[in-house]
Structure formats: structure tokens, C-alpha cells
Amino acid sequence: MEYSRNVSRPPSKVVWFALATAWIGALASLAAKLPAQAVGAGTSKPRLELADTARRAAAVSAPASTPRPSAPSVAPAGMVVAAPAVKPPRAPETATQFRADFVRNQTMLGVAVYAPAFATTVAHDGLAWAASYLLVAGGSFVAAAEISRDLKVTDPMQRLATGAPIRSAIAGSILASALDGDRRVTAGALLLSSLGGTAAGLWLGRNMTDGEAAATLYGSDILGLATYAAMTAAGVNGAGSPNKTRAGLTLAGMIAGAPLGQAYAALAPYHVSVGDLTAMSASAGVGMLAGLTVIANGERTDRQVSAALAIGGAAGLLVGDRLLVRRYDHTLSEGRLIVAGGLAGGLTGAGVALLTGGQQARVNAYAATLTTVGAAGGIILAQRYLLPKADGALRLGGLKLNPLGVVAAASGMRGAYTLGSLTF
């Protein structure tokens, strides 16, 4: 007896190899598009070195006459004087470390974003999906390592090339959802937008400071979330056309917030660091808690909650800018500790509310007030504990009036008078 059965065969290996080669080649072509960052002709490509390799190379290349801590010496009076221990200074981060961060982050993005989006876009069955996923996930490391050898990767470049793909992927999925795209269309939009975000991050990060790069991502997040909350508070929500309108306006807010955030860090008359933005996020969280405290009692609709979060968050950002960013220069670790202090204080306040209020303190203004006060107190205590350095303002600006010129002009005297000056 003869029988036959249909076996679903995966696509040809040659096809998948060609797709992977084209994908890796597209990323590698970024080196040719960034001439200002490319390695000069005739110069060998830098090799990614591990930390142990770099230390061994530094030890071999160190001159033989490098002074060492001297042995205990004997003073003329017979007293033994030990040489003071000298703590070596901490070496600053080098381009090699930034390249390593870039390769690591791009590999993680390949595993979490690029590979599943690519596999969902091109595969039609489970075996083809798994093969496509593994191929692109592994190829992400190769592509990122090759790009980092041809480019001088700076900290702003690697920061933008890590954060921009995530936000671009969210924007692509929002756009595909607004256009009623199916699963494969959404995955394709996510893939293209994330790869575009990586390329844009490398390109735009060349001429930015670290604070400007962080503020670019921060502005995109803040304005996107604020637009979404404002549309929900205005009643532009629900299924159908209102939801598409809200999604489109949220996408527009994310796009517009990126250059606005960069302009904030570049044009502010004080220094804006990565840690400052992190600390300002803590104050924004306290503001949102304060907004929720106002509507804690009684029934709460989605529109009321969105309005409270939007208004409270905006007030918290303004207070954080005036009290934390303008006056101090926080490092990233200090900013994170301030966030941790706010979280710890909020949890402490909520615990006190439960202990003193009993069953009635689950969700009401009393519990919300103690939580908000505790979060604010945690930020204040963390700020006093850290004692960050004062803001080293790089730019001084403002409006200065000339009283004599104003009086002369008001009296009607003829002549040219300087009423004031504006510096920025």
C-alpha cells in the first residue's frame, strides 16, 4: 500500500542566509553614512578589548622607571616612618567602554526587539519563525560589533542608540494600530522604526552632550505621556475613531518632545545632567501623587484620574526643575538614590496610613496624603544625605532693565536710551 502526506518544508536556507546578510549589511552601511565618525583611511580598525586585556596591555607598556611606593624609611632619630598609601585615581570611561556598552545594548535589543519583529514579519510557520529569530538575534551582535569598529562611539551616541529604538518601536506599533494593520504589518512597522531609531541615535548623538541626549529621550517620554493623559481627560478615548485620534496625537507628542527636550538641555541657563533628569522624575512622581490625593475620596472616572495625573505631573516637573535641576548637578547614581528615597518615603507613608487608619485607610485622601508627604520627605532626606555639588552654570541669561533709561524715556526727554538688555 502506498500513501503520501504533505510536509510543510521551511524556506530554503539560501533565502534565510541572504536575508540575514542583507540585514547585517544594512546596519553596517551606517559607517559609510557617518564620515565624521569614521576611522581614517589606512588606519587599522580598533579591536574590542576586554577589561583584563586592557589592563595587561597597560602593564606591559608602562615604563620600567614607574615609581613604586617606597619601603619604610628610617628617620635620623631612629623612628620608622611608613610611606603613605597612595590610592590610584579612578580612570575615566574611554571610547572602548562606550563601544562595549553599545554592542551589549544592541545585542539585547536584537534579542528583545529586532529578532522577534523580523521573524514575525517574514515567517509563516513555527520552525521558520524560530530559525529567523535565532539568525537575527545572533547577527545583532556581529552587526553592532562591526559598526563599533568603524565608528567612534561616544556616550551620547550609545545612549541615544539604545533609547531611541525602544521609543521608535512603540511609535511604529502605535502607527500600525491606528492604521488597522494586522500582526505582520505591525511587526514590520516595529522592525523598521526600531532600526531607524538606532540609525538616528548614532547620527544625532555625534554633536550632543550626554545631558542633551538624555533630555531628548526624556522630552519624548514626557510629552507623549502628557498628550495621552490630556486626550483621555478631554474624553478623546474609547474604541473606534476617538482611540485612533488619541493614538495619533500621542505619536505626535512623542515626536515633538524629542527636539524640545534637547533644546531644554542646550538652551537652559544652567547645566542639565542625566542625574538631574532622573531626580526631576522623582518630583514629577510626587506631583502625580498629589494630584491623585485631590480626587482620592468618592468615585473616580478615567477622565478625572488622567487630569489629576497630567496636572500633578506637570507641577512636579516645574518644582523639580526649580529646586533640583537649577540649583544642583546630580550624577546618575545620585539621581537614582533620590528616586529610591522618594519610593521609600512613599511606602513608609502608606504603611503609617494603614497602621493608623485601619480598614478605612485603604484608598482615601488620608492615606494618599500620608503617601505623598512621605514621598516628598524621602526626596528631601536623600538630597540632604547626598549633598550634591552646586550647579556649575555654563550659561548665564536673563532680562536686565536700565532704571535710568526707563525714567528718561518716561519723562519724555529726547535721545536714545537703553531700556534693558536680554542675554541668553
> In this predicted model, what pLDDT tens digit does every residue of 248-291 receive, in sequence order?
999 999 999 999 999 999 999 999 999 999 999 999 999 999 99
State the pLDDT at residue 283.
96
pLDDT digits (tens, 9 = 90+) for 295-314: 988 788 999 999 999 999 99
User: Comparing C-alpha atoms, which of 341, 369, 216, 229 is closest to residue 279?
Assistant: 341
- For all residues of the chain together, what is the average pLDDT? 79
- Residue 234 contacts residue 249 (beta carbons within 8 Å): no
pTM, two decimal places: 0.71
* End-to-end Cα separation, the chain, in angstroms: 91
| Domain chopping of the chain, boundaries | 94-207, 396-424
Tell me the pLDDT tens digit for each residue of 159-202.
Answer: 999 999 999 999 999 888 888 888 999 999 999 999 999 999 99
Q: Is the dihedral of CA 39, 45, 49, 54 positive or negative?
A: negative
Quick one: residue 235, left, alpha or beta (phi over 0 = left, psi -120 to 50 = alpha)? Answer: left
Strands, E assignment, 320-364: 328-329
Secondary structure, 3-state, 173-214: HHHHHHCCCCHHHHHHHHHHHHHHHHHHHHHHHHHCCHHHHH
Q: pLDDT category, 220, cuts 50, 70, 90?
A: very high
Sign of CA dihedral 376, 381, 385, 391: positive
Tell me phi and psi for residue 259, to 5 degrees.
-65, -30
Cβ–Cβ < 8 Å for 342, 379: yes
pLDDT tens digits, 29-55: 544 455 444 444 444 444 444 444 454
Question: What is the mean predicted confidence (pLDDT) over 76-95?
Answer: 47
- The alpha-carbon radius of gyration of the chain (Å, integer) is 29
Taken in order 208, 212, 218, 219, the sign of the CA dihedral is negative
